[in-house]
């Protein structure tokens, strides 16, 4: 799964790399967690690429009460086209979630979970494939939300975890985002594991286990250490509270 990631791209880089303008203000973040606002790239009504803030945790349009709906931060590529929660988004609401890198936890033989920071070996940003949805409430309230698509881990990462985000090739961005001109079947051909040799990973501090912690030091390599007993577990999915439905 992908349950934490970092995003440190300035607006200028977003405009150059993803062809968007008027990027919402978004400070460098080193520990983005589910239910928090994330920056995503999609096509707007005119067909142009646009950057938009969305809640990390997809809420399909047909949900009656988001507070009673499970927190869905990832969509498995192998089954998402058939799942009711993702079916409409696969066809009509595809997006890209830009990241500098992401975190994954490896379970050691003694049961200890060791966090790793994972990025492209080239140092380039990760265009993670995603899905988004807009939920409209009975009183006019609106929630834009998104999930990151995952695929089987490639050989670089399978020793850490069996899943990884689907990272799009630059050449596939247009087809993935073009929900009007590219059918879902064609677009899904771009969703695959990254080629061997393209990813790098290193252990990082267990401070990343808590979403309260922030800072560049979180992505710095460290010697393998055991997390403290009272540290938060990134894989734990907690019930969505009403306040978590607010983007700001």
Domains of the chain (ranges; CATH) run: 4-225 (3.90.1680.10)
Residue 21 confidence (pLDDT):
85
Catalytic residue among 25, 104, 142, 214: 104
CB 183 within 8 A of CB 3: no
Residue 240 confidence (pLDDT):
38
CB 96 within 8 A of CB 127: yes
Residue 224 confidence (pLDDT):
77
CA dist 236 and 34 (Å) reads 11
Q: Render pLDDT for 1-50 as a digit per residue (tens, 0 to 9).
A: 789 999 999 999 999 999 998 899 999 999 999 999 999 999 988 889 99
Residue 140 confidence (pLDDT):
85
Q: Which residues pair with 50 in a beta bridge?
A: 42
Please list the helix, strand and coil fractions of the chain in percent, rounded to the nearest 5, in that order: 15, 30, 50
Residue 248 confidence (pLDDT):
30
Q: Does 216 participate in catalysis according to the annotation?
A: no
pTM confidence score:
0.89
CB 208 within 8 A of CB 228: no
Residue 99 confidence (pLDDT):
98
Q: Does 214 participate in catalysis according to the annotation?
A: no
SS3 185: helix
**Parts of the chain with a pLDDT under 50:** 231-248
φ and ψ of 133, to 5 deg: -150, 155
């Amino acid at each position: 799964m992908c349950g934490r990631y970092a995003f440190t791209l300035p607006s200028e880089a977003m405009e150059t790399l993803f062809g968007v303008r008027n990027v919402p203000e978004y400070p460098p973040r080193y520990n983005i967690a589910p239910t928090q606002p994330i920056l995503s790239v999609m096509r707007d009504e005119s067909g142009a690429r646009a950057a938009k803030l969305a809640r990390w945790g997809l809420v399909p349009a047909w949900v009656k009460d988001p507070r009673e709906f499970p927190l869905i931060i990832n969509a498995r590529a192998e089954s998402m086209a058939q799942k009711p929660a993702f079916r409409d988004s696969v066809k009509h609401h595809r997006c890209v979630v830009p990241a500098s890198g992401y975190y994954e936890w490896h379970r050691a033989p003694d049961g200890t979970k060791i966090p790793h920071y994972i990025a492209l070996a080239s140092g380039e940003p990760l265009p993670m494939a995603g899905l988004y949805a807009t939920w409209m409430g009975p009183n006019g309230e609106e929630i834009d939300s998104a999930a990151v698509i995952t695929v089987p881990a490639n050989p670089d990462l399978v020793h850490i975890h069996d899943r990884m985000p689907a990272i799009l090739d630059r050449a596939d961005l247009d087809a993935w985002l073009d929900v009007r001109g590219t059918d879902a079947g064609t677009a899904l051909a771009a969703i695959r594991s990254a080629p061997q040799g393209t990813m790098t990973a290193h252990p990082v501090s267990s401070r990343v286990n808590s979403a309260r912690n922030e800072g560049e030091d979180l992505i710095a390599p460290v010697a393998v250490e055991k997390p403290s007993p009272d540290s938060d577990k990134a894989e734990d999915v907690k019930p969505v509270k009403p306040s978590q439905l607010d983007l700001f």
